[in-house]
Amino acid sequence: AMIDKGNYRHFMAKEIHEQPEVIGHTLSRYLDLAARKAKVPDGMAVDFSGLTRLVMSACGTAYYAGLVGKYWFEKYARLPVEIDIASEFRYRELPVNPGEMALFISQSGETADTLASLRYCKAAGLTIGAVVNVPESTIAREADLVFPTIAGPEIGVASTKAFTCQLSVLASLAILAGRQRGVLTADQEAELVGALSEAPGLALKALALEARIEKLAPGLSRASDVLYLGRSTSYPLALEGALKLKELSYIHAEGYAAGELKHGPIALIDENLPVIVIAPHDAIYEKTVSNMQEVAARGGRILLITDEKGAEASGLADRDRILMPALSEIVAPIIYSIPIQLIAYHVAVFMGTDVDQPRNLAKSVTVE
- Catalytic residue ranges: 363
Please, what is the minimum distance in Å from the beta carbon of residue 254 to ligand AGP? 15
Tell me the C-alpha distance between 217 and 209, whole Å: 13
Nearer to ligand AGP, 61 or 314 (CB): 61
Q: Interface with ligand AGP includes 114 (CB under 6 A)? A: yes
Nearer to ligand AGP, 111 or 288 (CB): 111
Q: Interface with ligand AGP includes 364 (CB under 6 A)? A: yes
- Residue of 159, 233, 291, 341 that binds ligand AGP (CB under 6 A): 159
Q: Nearest CA to 337 among 168, 124, 95?
A: 168
- Residue of 19, 111, 168, 341 that binds ligand AGP (CB under 6 A): 111
Tell me the C-alpha distance between 314 and 305, whole Å: 11
Phi-psi region of 208 (alpha: psi -120 to 50; beta: other; left: phi over 0): alpha
Count the residues in the chain: 368
Tell me the C-alpha distance between 27 and 38, whole Å: 9
Q: Interface with ligand AGP includes 284 (CB under 6 A)? A: no
Q: Label residue 145 exposed, middle or buried (CB < 10 Å: 0-12, 13-18, 19+).
A: middle
Nearer to ligand AGP, 162 or 302 (CB): 162
- Residue of 19, 26, 87, 106 that binds ligand AGP (CB under 6 A): 106
Pairing of the two strands 301-307 and 225-230: unpaired
| Exposed e or buried b per residue across 339-352, where buried means at least 16 C-beta atoms within 10 angstroms of its C-beta | bbbbbbbbbbbbbe
Question: What is the per-residue binding string for ligand AGP in 218-257, x denoting contact by CB under 6 A?
Answer: -----------------------------x----------
Q: Interface with ligand AGP includes 365 (CB under 6 A)? A: yes
Segment near ligand AGP (CB under 6 A), from 55-63, 89-97, 175-183, 300-308? 55-63
Name the site residues for ligand AGP (rule: CB under 6 A): 59-62, 106-108, 111, 114, 157-159, 247, 364-365
